Amino acid sequence: MKVAIHRILCLLPALLAVGALVCSPFAVGSALADKRSSIFDWSNSSEGPTAFGYMIAYSYRDKIVYFTPIISQRAPETSFNDEEYVFQTSTVLKLERAFQKKLEQEYKIRSADFTFNARVVYKTERIALNRFFRESNDFRIKAFKLVEVSDFRP
């Protein structure tokens, strides 16, 4: 199993380059599925560019990471840099709190042991996936358990 995962991880840059990867970051086994099927657009606005991202919560004490599939939302026109939009801190905090509440209720976590982050301002899906894979690989190397929260709806 570890060899298969290592081989898939070695192929990730090539899959990302051709846009063949699905949005659910750890659905690597079904990496050639319909690209748009798992993106959840939680914004109510129809104005502004689309931003992509994911939610993540991790605990160094428990050695576990909870994450969402890639989500999309409308963003303001203002850019932070070539990869990110400027996003309201209050919106990011609301997303993080909603994710924290879901994990507390459904996964019975102790939120004091976790760090919650909404990584939701990337300009393209590919950038969001690249960032997610880099971050998740760091956790894999440290032997964290990875758990997808696919039904998270802010």
Q: Looking at residue 154, what is its pLDDT?
A: 80
Q: Give this prediction's pTM.
A: 0.73
Please count the structural domains in the chain.
1
83 within some domain: yes
Q: Looking at residue 41, what is its pLDDT?
A: 55
Q: Looking at residue 43, what is its pLDDT?
A: 58
CB 73 within 8 A of CB 50: yes
Q: Looking at residue 99, what is its pLDDT?
A: 98
89 within some domain: yes
Q: Looking at residue 77, what is its pLDDT?
A: 84
49 within some domain: yes
Q: Looking at residue 47, what is its pLDDT?
A: 77
135 within some domain: yes
CB 72 within 8 A of CB 52: yes
Which range marks the domain in which residue 51 is found?
36-148
1 within some domain: no
Give how far Cα 153 sits from Cα of 10, 103, 120, 121, Å: 31, 12, 14, 17
pLDDT truncated to tens, each residue of the chain (154 aa)?
A: 444 444 444 444 444 443 333 345 544 333 323 333 344 555 556 678 999 999 999 999 999 999 999 999 988 888 989 999 998 899 999 999 999 999 999 999 999 999 999 999 999 999 999 999 999 999 999 999 999 999 998 8
CB 94 within 8 A of CB 150: no
